Structure 1
């Protein structure tokens, strides 16, 4: 009696890994054995199961995906990438409000790869992440989304501009009003800067902050009950940067540029 296809694919790490190894093209048995660090005797029964279920075909000891196998693997890869992202930081994803991330980017969450979570202690919970600042100071472009104005932001923005970086910053309507009332002179000087562009998000901004530099981003979300959280998700890779930029652009499309105050 044949197994259910879902069991064939996921119930055995060897079968799953063979399918993933073949996604880029056929492989010799010897190469499969080396990649999986296993013996022919251990692997062959698993490959036979893949063949019996029309996922893999053999030609002179070279194995490749069938048409069905290719279709299955095309769906496997993004699923496994998503599971890996959530599994690495399940406490973060499970306790925070994900409504601030649009559906199409949640579908692509696997692209951010292996991220880290930092929870600053009480003494440093309001400090800016120093590692991010170092990367940002060496970045050509910096993208920010925020609902609050940290006391260090004006001096930090000035440093970015001195370095020649271009900065785009999306702020909430509440923060826009606060800046005009309490930071008027600093805000006006930044608005007049050619390399710093402010935008006001026209809807309810339900993420705490997003900061993007070259090849990295830091994301802070509200908790599920919409309470503040100081936990930071930090991702470092070109793929993560692209995903972060797409999240920034999602908010940018509903934002209005600030040209004067």
Structure 2
């Protein structure tokens, strides 16, 4: 009963939750707490007293700080809150798509996607790169991409990035690679000849994403197996870039490098 009471103190009040994470950084005065959380004394003071009663925070001189127990709770509670935020803010996206394509070990770190959101192309533009995607990738110095579907705009697009000294690493499915090799052989040959590119082939991949030094863009298949060419989930958080880079390396380890045709 005590643990359930402690859980309710945090989960039933956004103010208490925010206060817990605020004090995780450093102790604060009541004036600082009110300023950071944009609340009045009558709004926040009862929450403070409740958290003091639960041994989550304490007051020393004029500063409020987390107790050792409060620090433990904050450390393990924050990833859960972040995970729920990522899911709830993009609930439709996760519900409609095959998220089993994301390896379980990465799904368990989905909180690292941070302040992500999805962008959507109009139906008549669904096979064109998203404008926001194009603008962000054009400003990047490092690009890593995974492609399970073919887009006729991409061979020339990624070649131009490489020719402009952007470091580009791509993983293609076997079918996509064969199509590019057969229909865009000259572009592919020039891409491979650049000293700032690398290309890998994997039998099958059930998700598409690009991660750069600026942003992460993730596209998934619907549950019926059709690729969603309209919507991308994007994030600019450093934790999301790290997540995407590690996901790329995960697939790279299972791929065959192509050095020449």
Instruction: Give the TM-score, by structure 2 length.
Output: 0.90
Q: Which residue pairs with 1:210 in the alignment?
A: 209
Q: Which residue pairs with 1:30 in the alignment?
A: 31
- Pair 215,60 (structure 1): closer, same or farther in 2 beyond 3 Å: same
Return 121-130 or 178-187, whichever deviates more.
178-187
- Residue ranges of structure 1 left out of the alignment (5+ in a row): none
Q: Which residue pairs with 1:260 in the alignment?
A: 260
Q: Which residue pairs with 1:225 in the alignment?
A: 224
1:40 offset after TM fit, Å?
Answer: 3.0
1:218 offset after TM fit, Å?
Answer: 1.5
Q: Which residue pairs with 2:141 in the alignment?
A: 140
1:220 offset after TM fit, Å?
Answer: 0.8
Q: What per-residue deviation string (whole Å, max 9, x for no partner) do you get for residues 206-259 of structure 1?
A: 11x212233112211011232221221122233322222122111111111002
1:138 offset after TM fit, Å?
Answer: 2.7
Structure 1 outlier segments of 4+, above 4 Å: none
1:135–1:214 Cα contact (<8 Å) kept: no
Q: Which residue pairs with 2:175 in the alignment?
A: 174
1:141–1:166 Cα contact (<8 Å) kept: yes
- Pair 153,37 (structure 1): closer, same or farther in 2 beyond 3 Å: closer
- In the alignment, the residues of structure 2 paired with residue 228 and residue 74 of structure 1 have an alpha-carbon distance, to the nearest angstrom, of 37
1:115 offset after TM fit, Å?
Answer: 2.2
Q: Which residue pairs with 2:151 in the alignment?
A: 150
Q: Which residue pairs with 1:64 in the alignment?
A: 65
- In the alignment, the residues of structure 1 paired with residue 13 and residue 169 of structure 2 have an alpha-carbon distance, to the nearest angstrom, of 47
- Pair 36,121 (structure 1): closer, same or farther in 2 beyond 3 Å: closer
Could you say what secondary structure the match of 1:111 adopts? helix
Q: Which residue pairs with 1:86 in the alignment?
A: 87
Q: Which residue pairs with 1:165 in the alignment?
A: 166
Aligned positions, number: 259
1:199 offset after TM fit, Å?
Answer: 0.2
Q: Which residue pairs with 2:19 in the alignment?
A: 18
- Pair 35,183 (structure 1): closer, same or farther in 2 beyond 3 Å: closer
2:155–2:180 Cα contact (<8 Å) kept: no
1:5 offset after TM fit, Å?
Answer: 0.9
- In the alignment, the residues of structure 1 paired with residue 212 and residue 198 of structure 2 have an alpha-carbon distance, to the nearest angstrom, of 16
Aligned residues: CA RMSD: 2.0
1:23 offset after TM fit, Å?
Answer: 0.6
- In the alignment, the residues of structure 1 paired with residue 237 and residue 39 of structure 2 have an alpha-carbon distance, to the nearest angstrom, of 31
1:136–1:214 Cα contact (<8 Å) kept: no
- In the alignment, the residues of structure 1 paired with residue 38 and residue 155 of structure 2 have an alpha-carbon distance, to the nearest angstrom, of 54
Q: Which residue pairs with 1:5 in the alignment?
A: 6
1:107 offset after TM fit, Å?
Answer: 2.4
